[in-house]
Structure 1
Amino acid sequence: MTTNFDKLIKTIVKPLVEYPDDVTIQHNETDRFYEYHLQTNPKDVGRIIGKKGHIAQTIRTIVYSVRVNGNKRVRLIIEDGQK
Structure 2
Amino acid sequence: MIDFKALIKAIVEPLVSHPEAIDIDQTETDRFYEYHLTVDPADVGRVIGKQGHVAQAIRTVVYSSRVDGNKRVRLIINDGPAKTLE
Q: TM-score range by the shorter chain?
A: over 0.9
- Distance apart, 1:73 and its partner CA: 0.0
User: Hey, what does 2:62 align to over in structure 1?
Assistant: 63
Aligned residues with identical type, % of pairs: 65
User: Hey, what does 2:42 align to over in structure 1?
Assistant: 43
User: Hey, what does 1:75 align to over in structure 2?
Assistant: 74
In structure 1, C-alpha distance between the alignment counterparts of 2:26 and 2:6, rounded to whole Å: 13
1:25-79 Cα offsets, whole Å, 9 max, x none, are 0011000000000000000000000000000000000000000010000000000
- Distance apart, 1:13 and its partner CA: 0.1
In structure 1, C-alpha distance between the alignment counterparts of 2:26 and 2:79, rounded to whole Å: 16
How many pairs align? 81
TM-score of the aligned structures, taking structure 2 as reference length:
0.91
After superposition, the CA RMSD in angstroms is 1.1
- Report the secondary structure of 2:79's partner residue: coil
In structure 2, C-alpha distance between the alignment counterparts of 1:6 and 1:62, rounded to whole Å: 13
Q: Given residue 54 of structure 2, which amino acid in structure 1 is its aligned partner?
A: I
In structure 1, C-alpha distance between the alignment counterparts of 2:34 and 2:17, rounded to whole Å: 25
TM-score of the aligned structures, taking structure 1 as reference length:
0.94
- Relative to its length, the structure with more helix (as a share) is 1
- Distance apart, 1:81 and its partner CA: 1.1
| Structure 1: segments with no counterpart, 5+ residues | none
Q: Given residue 41 of structure 2, which amino acid in structure 1 is its aligned partner?
A: P
| Structure 2: segments with no counterpart, 5+ residues | 82-86
